[in-house]
Chain A
Amino acid sequence: MNRSGPDTAGAAATAHPDHVLPPAEAMLWARDLVKVHHGAETATHAVRHVDLRVDRGEFVAIMGPSGAGKSTLLHLLGGLDRPDSGRIWLDGQRVDGLTEARWSLLRRRTVGIVFQFFNLVTNMTAADNVELPALLAGMSPKQARTRREELFAELDLDDRAGSTPAALSGGEQQRVALARALVNEPGLLLADEPTGNLDSRNTRDVLRLLARYHARGQTILLVTHDARVASSADRVISLYDGEIADDSALHAPSASPTTVADVLRLKG
C-alpha cells in the first residue's frame, strides 16, 4: 500500500515527531491522521493513518466509494471535526491542537469550504451570504460589497444578489457558496462533493469555475466519488476504507489522444 504519498519526509517525521517542519511549498500537510466514529455499539475507523500533502497551487481530488472516509478527512483538514491523533499544518502553522474558536478565526482567512448541499445561511440573501465572511474577516461593509460584486459578476450571479437561497437553483446556490468560500481569498479551498447535488450541466459549470480559479493559482482540495469530477484535478488520491490506496498525478491531456479516439470509435 502506498501510504506515504508524494512526500519523502516520512522517515524524518517518525524520528523527531515534534520537531519536524512542513516543507515550505506545502499548503497543507497532514501526518498520521486517525479518526474513529464511535457509534452506540460499534466504532467505525473513518480515517486510518493518513499522510497527505497538498502543495501551493495544486488541485487535488480525493476519490473513493461512499463510506471511505473522504468527507471525514476533509472535515478534519478544515477543522470542522477533530482528529483522534495525528498532526496537521496549514500554511506552515500547526493547527491540529487549535481550539474551536481559533479554528474559526483561521477559517475566516485561510480556508474556504464548499459543500454538497450548498449550506447557505437560509435566511440571508445571496449577497449577505457572501459578504458575511468578508465582514467577519474585518473588511468594511463597502469593501465587502465591492469584493462580492466582483465575484458575482464573474460567477454570473449579478441579478441574484437580492435573492434568498430558497429562490435560487441548485447551480446558482453552489456558485454563491463558491463566491462565499473565495471572498476572503483563502489559501486553501476545500470542496466536499461540490457537484453531488447538481445536474450534469451545472456540474460542468462548477468544474469549469474551479479550473479557472486553479489556473490563477488557487490551491484546491476536492472530495468526490465521481470520477468525472476527480479527473478535473491534477492529482487524484484514492481513499479506500479510511486509507490511501493510490495517489497519482494525471497526465496532460495531449498524452493520450489515441486512447480517447479509441474510446470514442463508433462501431458501425
Chain B
Amino acid sequence: MRLPLLALLAKEPAHGYELKQALEQTFGAAYPQPNIGQVYVTLGRLEKNGLIKGQDVDQSNRPNKRVYEITDAGREELAAWFAEPTEGPRVRDEFFMKLVLAPGAGGSDRLALINTQRRHYLNVMRGLSRLAAQDRDNRAAQLLIEGAMLHLQADLDWLERCQEELD
C-alpha cells in the first residue's frame, strides 16, 4: 500500500482517514477494503524513511490530527515507481504441477482436473460479473474487474490448450 498512498499524497497533503476514503473512492468494490490501522502503520513507516513528513494540526474539541505531505525524496521514489515496468501475474503453477504429475501418481483423471479447474474459473468469472454489475459507475473499478476477467479468459484458453495436449 506504500506507493499508492505516496501517489495520493503527491496530489495534496492529507491525513490518514482522508487517505483511506480516497482509496475506497478511487478503486471502489474492486479493491479489498483498506484497514485504517494498516494505513497509519504504513504512513508511519513512510515518514520514518523520510518520504513524507507529518505535521500535527490542532482541532477544537477533538484530538489533533496529523496531516502528511510528500517530501522530495518521496517524489523521487514515486517517479522511480512510475518509471519501472510492472511484472505481470504468472501462470498458476500449482495447477500445472497437478496436471503434469497426476498420471504418474495414479491419482486423478487429467480431464477431470481440467474440468474442475474450468468450473472454478467460470464461477470466479461469474462472481466478477456480479461485482461489475454492482459497481457500474466507478470506472477504475470496472477496468480492474475487466482486467481480472481477461486474465481468467486467458487461463481458460490455456486450459483448452492443455485439453488439446491430452489427445
Contact = CB atoms under 8 A, between A and B. Distances in A.
User: Are chains A and B touching in the complex at the 8 Å CB cutoff?
Assistant: yes
Contacts of A204: 132
Interface stretch (A139-147, A187-195, A227-235): A227-235
A232 B148 contact: no
A3 to B, nearest CB: 12
Interface in A213-260: 226-228, 230-232, 236, 238, 240-241, 245-246, 248, 250-251, 253, 255-257, 259-260
B10 interface: no
B123 A227 contact: no
Interface stretch (B50-58, B72-80, B111-119): B111-119
Contact of A259 (B124, B129, B144, B153): B124
A99 interface: no
B19 to A, nearest CB: 14
Interface stretch (B1-9, B62-70, B95-103): B1-9
A1 interface: yes
Contact of B123 (A1, A2, A251, A264): A251
Contact of B126 (A200, A253, A261, A263): A253
Nearest to A249: B119
Q: Is the interface of A mostly helix, strand, loop or mixed?
A: mixed
Interface in A172-224: 200, 204, 207-208
A263 B163 contact: no
Given A259-B124, A264-B148, A238 B115 contact: yes
Contact of A260 (B4, B27, B122, B131): B131
Contacts of B4: 268
Contacts, number: 91
B48 to A, nearest CB: 19
Contacts of B156: 227
Contact of B152 (A2, A227, A240, A261): A227
B122 A261 contact: no
Contacts of B85: none
A265 interface: yes
Contacts of B43: none
Contacts of B128: 231, 260, 263
Contacts of B119: 246, 248, 250
Given A230-B122, A261-B32, A268-B2, A245 B130 contact: no
Given A207-B129, A268-B1, 6 more contacts: A1-B111, A227-B149, A231-B122, A231-B128, A238-B115, A263-B151
